[in-house]
């Protein structure tokens, strides 16, 4: 299998943690429901490829996201006992979702807010301020139980209904999640309109507000082909946590202009070429995404999977 020539760039982090979001963010937008056993096998293959953080599912109401109605069944099927070193976070929208996660001994959870009012209403059924109050007891209880809590912030770079989102507004929402007690803040470019300069402006504004890169992650969609360049811009600013989806799967069921996530294989190809360690085996990832493309019945949107694996299996 072809591998990139390695040419390190001075100043980049030595290692990046890739949060694999394919099983949750990748599959939630599928038109057909993916069987639980296929999802579980997908997770097992990702772990075998070296993934140490695999976002498994979301404890949302089934009528909201039918593709994730099997959340409890999937969590029971995760290889947690075999791989205690691997984190399997799940999303919880409210206290009921947290109750379900705690009952299954989940150790990592995430809440998901929006930097814009319109998307908050569409995604959560309430405004930004009300969403923060809804998350307050969720985060407090999760932290009291010793869980790691991630805060997702959507629409950080643009919103299909509201247009460009002011940087200050994003910072305000991000600070709100961190003030609740979230351990990490993932900045989401939900519709993929961000550019490297915009990334730099947002990270600088957060730094000025007292939030350094060690508390940040980035979550880019590739709608306009900017996900890799935006990720590199974030890494140059010290961010070492990057969300990606195997095979470039994903989107958002509440924002139809949100096409696929940054493909894990495309990210690893770039990072391998830069000499940045991820612990991920590119060949195994390509084989995994080729297998999943076969299960979904269509080619993978990942450029690297298409180049190295044919995109279907």
Q: Classify residue 121: in a domain, yes or no.
A: yes
* Single pTM value for the model: 0.95
Nearest C-alpha neighbor of 54 from the set 15, 29, 89: 89
CB 191 within 8 A of CB 219: no
272 and 282 Cβ atoms separated by less than 8 Å:
yes
pLDDT at 141 over 80: yes
Whether 30 and 70 have beta carbons less than 8 Å apart is answered as: no
**pLDDT on residue 30:** 84
pLDDT at position 259 over 90: no
* 51 belongs to a structural domain: yes
Residue 4 counted as domain residue: no
Mean pLDDT of 49-53: 98
- What CATH number does the domain containing 208 carry? 3.20.20.70
The answer to whether the CB of 90 falls within 8 A of the CB of 72 is no
Nearest to residue 86, comparing CAs of 40, 48, 142? 48
What's the mean per-residue pLDDT of the chain? 94
Enclosing domain of residue 163: 17-309
Q: How many domains does the chain have?
A: 1
Query: In the chain, pLDDT over 70 holds for what percent of residues?
Result: 96
Q: Give catalytic status of residue 19 as yes or no.
A: no
Asked, for residue 12, whether it belongs to a domain, the answer is no
Positive or negative torsion for Cα 162, 166, 170, 173 = negative
Residue 1 lies in a domain: no
310 pLDDT tier (thresholds 50, 70, 90): low
Residue 111 lies in a domain: yes
Asked whether residue 281 is assigned to any structural domain, the reply reads yes
**Is 2 a domain residue?**
no
Under the banding of pLDDT at 50, 70 and 90, the label for residue 61 is confident
Tens of pLDDT, residue by residue over 100-110, are 999 999 999 99
């Amino acid at each position: 299998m072809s591998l990139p020539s390695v040419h390190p760039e001075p100043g980049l982090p030595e290692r990046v943690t890739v949060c694999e979001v394919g099983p949750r963010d990748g599959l939630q937008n599928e038109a057909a429901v993916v069987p639980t056993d296929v999802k579980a096998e997908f997770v097992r293959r990702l772990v075998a490829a070296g993934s140490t953080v695999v976002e498994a599912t979301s404890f949302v109401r089934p009528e909201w996201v039918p593709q994730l109605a099997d959340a409890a069944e999937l969590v029971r099927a995760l290889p947690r006992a075999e791989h205690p070193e691997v984190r399997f976070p799940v999303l919880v929208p409210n206290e009921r979702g947290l109750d379900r996660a705690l009952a299954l001994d989940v150790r990592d959870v995430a809440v998901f807010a929006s930097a814009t009012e319109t998307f908050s209403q569409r995604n959560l059924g309430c405004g930004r301020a009300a969403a923060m109050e809804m998350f307050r007891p969720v985060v407090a209880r999760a932290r009291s139980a010793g869980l790691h809590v991630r805060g997702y912030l959507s629409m950080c770079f643009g919103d299909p209904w509201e247009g460009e989102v002011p940087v200050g507004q994003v910072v305000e929402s991000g600070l709100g999640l961190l003030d609740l007690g979230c351990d990490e803040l993932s900045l989401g470019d939900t519709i993929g309109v961000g550019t490297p300069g915009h990334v730099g402006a947002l990270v600088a504004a957060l730094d000025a507000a007292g939030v350094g890169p060690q508390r940040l992650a980035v979550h880019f969609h590739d709608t306009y082909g900017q996900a890799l360049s935006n990720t590199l811009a974030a890494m140059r600013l010290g961010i070492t946590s990057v969300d990606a989806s195997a095979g470039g799967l994903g989107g958002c069921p509440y924002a139809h202009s949100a096409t696929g996530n940054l493909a894990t294989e495309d990210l690893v190809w770039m990072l391998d070429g830069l000499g940045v360690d991820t612990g991920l085996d590119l060949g195994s990832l390509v084989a995994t995404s080729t297998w999943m493309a076969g299960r979904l019945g269509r080619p993978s949107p990942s450029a690297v999977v298409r180049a190295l694996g044919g995109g279907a299996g």
